[in-house]
Amino acid sequence: MDVAALTLLALALPFVAALLAPVLTRLLGHNAAWVLALFPAAIVLHFTRFWPEVAAGEVVTGGYAWIPSFNVSFSWLIDGLSLTFVLLIAGIGTLIVLYSGGYLKGHPQQGRFFSFILMFMGSMLGLVVSDSFLMLFVFWELTSITSFLLIGFDHSREAARRAALQALVVTGGGGLFLLAALLILWNVSGITQLSLLTAFGPELREGPFYLAALILVLGGAFTKSAQFPFHFWLPNAMEAPTPVSAYLHSATMVKAGVYLLMRLNPVLGGTPEWQILLPLFGGITLIIGAVLACRQTDLKLMLAYTTTASLGMLVMLTGLGFPHAIEAAVLYLVAHSLFKGALFMVVGIIDHETNARDVTQLGGLRTAMPFTFVIALAAALSMGGLPPFFGFLAKEEIYYALSGFDLRSMIFAALAILGNALMFAVAFAVALKPFVGPRIETPQTPHDAPILLWLGPALLSVKGLTAAFLAGLTHELVSTPMASAIAGAPRTVTISIIPDIGLPLALSLATVALGALFYLNLDRLRAFVSSILVDIGWGPDRGFDQFIRGLIRFSVALTRRLQSGRLDVYMTATFVLIAVVLLGVPLSYGELPRAPFFAGDVPLHELAVMAIAVIGLGAVLLAADRLTAIVSLGIQGFAVAVIFLLYGAPDLAFTQFMIETLSVVVLALVMTRLRLSHSDHRPLGQKIPDVTIALACGLGFGLMLLKVTGVPFDATLTEFFNLYSKSIAHGANVVNVIIVDFRGTDTLGEIAVVMVTGLAILSLVRLRAGSLRRIADNDPDVEERA
């Protein structure tokens, strides 16, 4: 198989695995993880083949035409940026699948969980390799949907359902921003592929739609990557099982927004707007995330808020535009994926073994879980940015980028130091506090975890160490190609584990000192932040609830106004609209038909038929009761059918006869069933408007018919059908041939409608009036009272 086919297969593999997961889990139990982990491992293996080309600075594109007429393709773009993401997603994905095998061992729905997480993996892979806009959008929304399924996995708990819905609303809504942004980019440039967009960068940046496109892109990226003020959904998403938190909400999905910004940096970046908005929101998110993290006592929530902070850091670095800032973002992104994934899994192990995850109720676990302790410490050292871990390289590079002496550098350097110091404190609060100090009794006696649980975090921690020691190789394969792809120009990353003596190292030391201070005073810091938050008393999380409730209230009020539920109101509205259209359009355009031309010699039988129609109508108006009126309406209908017959439309006449007969029968039956009063009791005040509307409609239809018949008849279709009905369709009756052959697909649709209507009426007839219950209308006010 060629590379393109293999790549397509690799992108499809997670979905195949998702399909197999439930069956495998039924057969093998939690050990299915070993088999399922082979799928992402195979993907890693496949994509490493692109390493030589990508390291040489090449961009590999490929794909298949999807809808060629709309210039839509299923195509991928593999450069340093997407390759690094692919390897992170599939690599960490392999470990997460194994970890889930241990974490959810014996869970009745473990198969479903595997299925969801593999589907997510497939969506995320598709997202980062997408070259075509449509594919990018589809996979973007797929990650939101699969994330919804995973957050709401424990769907019997209300908190999980709310968090899932919130994440879906925020990230899915952000997807719509992305869609609008892509439409603008496509409209301005005429290009539907990311790989070709860079060439249009200067034109876009100077064009009038730049700001609109930028804001929409930021709307998509900020919601997905939980930037202020959309940061609230991410901590709530911690309702998901820990493997999900480790994978989606730290290592992969939340980085999709950062990915988008990095991908579009050569196209939209470098402008003053870009360099103001990104660092501003990123910086705010960094500080808010780090401060809120200190306030938490739940291990998972502490990590969740630091993830928000880290994402803020990445957005900030992507937007700064300083030399080395892109390189720093690359290093930090990779380092963060490794240490945060590992730390989440460690927290999962603690939770799994002790059944507790509140930092104030854990202590002295080092003797019971020495191995887990080592892993946790390794990850925390990387997160704290201490040598010899990869996090150290990232932090040094950040301070290289920020160590200028202008005001802007100093402000962001101060933000970075504060944020990093707070995260340092949290890292050790998570990885050190539960293990040291006096032993605190936990609901469950802890042991070191089984292999499925520790393998993932251990490998990630080791990776954080080796990546730093083999910095040269890491830079050659990952950092340099990725930074070049983001910058849109060749960059080289050179930083190594041996620090240079200089300002960056001094800033690093300051960070560690400040972080240690925060760590020692964490309890006081927590109380302080809590008291401030209580004083503020409002956050975006509550704002989200208020927004949703307001939306529901508004829609309930609107629905009440528009949908009265009374048939006569609907009928009046419909007919008034018809009358307005039929009369208003010709009047406003001055297109009234000319007075019809009456032939003098109308045969007597035609006059007689018309007279019957008029008599029928008169009888309807004068009828004493409803039944007589219905039958009289039939008289008029029969007369019309006779007119059809006289003018050479036997099929139509035939049908009209049958329809008239049946409508009279059915109407009479409905009448008896509804037990309506025999005569019409409408008051005069209602009769007059009703009569007016009826007359207006009648007049409108009359005018329209006159107008239509006044236009010269185009006989093209008639000739076509007359000519070909016999020769192509073997039928002499043109009407029937049209119905069953020329336009057979229409008829198929119509009879399906007849069938469905029949079913609907049947169920309506079977409803007994007494059994009608009020249908839930989601009115929040009613729900509260209930």
Partner 1 sequence: MRSVIFRAVAPFLTSLMVVFSIFVLLRGHNEPGGGFIGGLIAVSALAIYGIACGVETVRHAIYFHPMAIAGTGLLASTVAGLISIAARVPFMTGLWIYPSVFGLEIPLSTVMLFDCGVYLVVVGAISSIALSLEERGGE
CB closer to partner 1, 355 vs 733:
733
Q: Which residues pair with 193 in a beta bridge?
A: 132
Burial class (CB in 10 A: 0-12, 13-18, 19+), 247: buried
Mask of contacts with partner 1, 611-650, x by CB under 8 A? ---------------------------------------x
Burial class (CB in 10 A: 0-12, 13-18, 19+), 596: exposed
- The C-alpha torsion from 261 through 294 and 417 to 513, rounded to 10°, is -150
Residue 766 binds to partner 1 (criterion: CB under 8 A): yes
Q: How far is the CB of 653 from partner 1 (least distance, A)?
A: 8
Q: How far is the CB of 464 from partner 1 (least distance, A)?
A: 57
Number of shown-chain residues binding partner 1 (CB under 8 A): 40
CB closer to partner 1, 541 vs 651:
651
CB closer to partner 1, 673 vs 773:
673
Q: How far apart are CA 305 and CA 192, in angstroms?
A: 36
Q: How far is the CB of 763 from partner 1 (least distance, A)?
A: 10
Output b/e per residue, 468-484; b: 16+ Cβ within 10 A. beebeebbebbbbbbbb
Residue 757 binds to partner 1 (criterion: CB under 8 A): yes
Mask of contacts with partner 1, 690-729, x by CB under 8 A? ---------------------------------------x
CB atoms within 10 A of CB 242: 25
CB closer to partner 1, 531 vs 757:
757
Total count of residues recorded for the chain: 786
Tell how many helices (H) and how many strands (E) occur in the chain.
Answer: 36, 2
Q: How far is the CB of 729 from partner 1 (least distance, A)?
A: 6
Q: How far apart are CA 165 and CA 154, in angstroms?
A: 13
Q: How far apart are CA 218 and CA 215, in angstroms?
A: 5
Q: How far is the CB of 728 from partner 1 (least distance, A)?
A: 8
CB closer to partner 1, 209 vs 720:
720
**What type of residue sits at position 86?**
V
Q: How far is the CB of 121 from partner 1 (least distance, A)?
A: 36
Residue 465 binds to partner 1 (criterion: CB under 8 A): no
CB atoms within 10 A of CB 19: 12
Among 35, 138, 704, 739, binds partner 1 (CB under 8 A): 739
Host H or E run for residue 163: helix 158-167
Q: How far apart are CA 9 and CA 181, in angstroms?
A: 30
Q: How far apart are CA 349 and CA 432, in angstroms?
A: 14
Among 736, 777, 778, 783, binds partner 1 (CB under 8 A): 736
Among 654, 693, 696, 703, binds partner 1 (CB under 8 A): 654
CB closer to partner 1, 165 vs 676:
676
Residue 730 binds to partner 1 (criterion: CB under 8 A): yes
HEC secondary structure over 199-258: HHHHHHHHCCCHHHHHHHHHHHHHHHCCCCCCCCHHHHHHHCCHHHHHHHHHHCCCHHHH
HEC secondary structure over 437-500: CCCCCCCCCCCCCCHHHHHHHHHHHHHHHHHHHCHHHHHHHHHHHHHHHHHCCCCCCCCCCCCC
Do residues 464 and 335 make contact, with C-beta atoms less than 8 angstroms apart?
A: yes
Residue 678 binds to partner 1 (criterion: CB under 8 A): no
Q: How far apart are CA 750 and CA 728, in angstroms?
A: 23
CB closer to partner 1, 556 vs 740:
740
Residue 663 binds to partner 1 (criterion: CB under 8 A): no
Among 596, 751, 778, 783, binds partner 1 (CB under 8 A): 751
Residue 489 binds to partner 1 (criterion: CB under 8 A): no
Q: How far is the CB of 745 from partner 1 (least distance, A)?
A: 5
Q: How far is the CB of 769 from partner 1 (least distance, A)?
A: 11
Among 752, 777, 778, 781, binds partner 1 (CB under 8 A): 752
Among 187, 541, 744, 781, binds partner 1 (CB under 8 A): 744
Among 659, 694, 705, 723, binds partner 1 (CB under 8 A): 659
Mask of contacts with partner 1, 572-611, x by CB under 8 A? ----------------------------------------
Do residues 363 and 373 make contact, with C-beta atoms less than 8 angstroms apart?
A: no
Q: How far apart are CA 338 and CA 349, in angstroms?
A: 17
Among 23, 571, 761, 782, binds partner 1 (CB under 8 A): 761
Q: Nearest Cα to 421, choosing from 532, 507, 335? A: 507
**What type of residue sits at position 719?**
E
Among 651, 680, 781, 783, binds partner 1 (CB under 8 A): 651
Do residues 192 and 253 make contact, with C-beta atoms less than 8 angstroms apart?
A: no
Among 669, 705, 723, 782, binds partner 1 (CB under 8 A): 669
Q: Nearest Cα to 350, choosing from 373, 334, 332, 327? A: 373
Residue 747 binds to partner 1 (criterion: CB under 8 A): yes
Phi, psi of 226 (to 5 degrees): 50, 45
Among 672, 677, 727, 771, binds partner 1 (CB under 8 A): 672
Please choose, out of 93-101, 480-488, 534-542, 752-760, the segment that lies near partner 1 by the rule CB under 8 A: 752-760
Q: How far is the CB of 721 from partner 1 (least distance, A)?
A: 14
Please choose, out of 99-107, 215-223, 710-718, 757-765, the segment that lies near partner 1 by the rule CB under 8 A: 757-765
CB closer to partner 1, 611 vs 666:
666
Residue 735 binds to partner 1 (criterion: CB under 8 A): yes
Q: How far apart are CA 492 and CA 668, in angstroms?
A: 86
Residues 6+ apart with CB under 8 A from 519: 424, 425, 428, 429
Q: How far is the CB of 730 from partner 1 (least distance, A)?
A: 6
CB closer to partner 1, 647 vs 701:
647
Do residues 119 and 127 make contact, with C-beta atoms less than 8 angstroms apart?
A: no
Residue 773 binds to partner 1 (criterion: CB under 8 A): no
Q: How far is the CB of 241 from partner 1 (least distance, A)?
A: 44
Among 364, 644, 655, 703, binds partner 1 (CB under 8 A): 655
Residue 741 binds to partner 1 (criterion: CB under 8 A): yes
Residues that bind partner 1 (CB under 8 A): 650-651, 654-655, 658-659, 661-662, 665-666, 669-670, 672-673, 729-733, 735-737, 739-741, 744-745, 747-748, 751-752, 754-755, 757-759, 761-762, 765-766
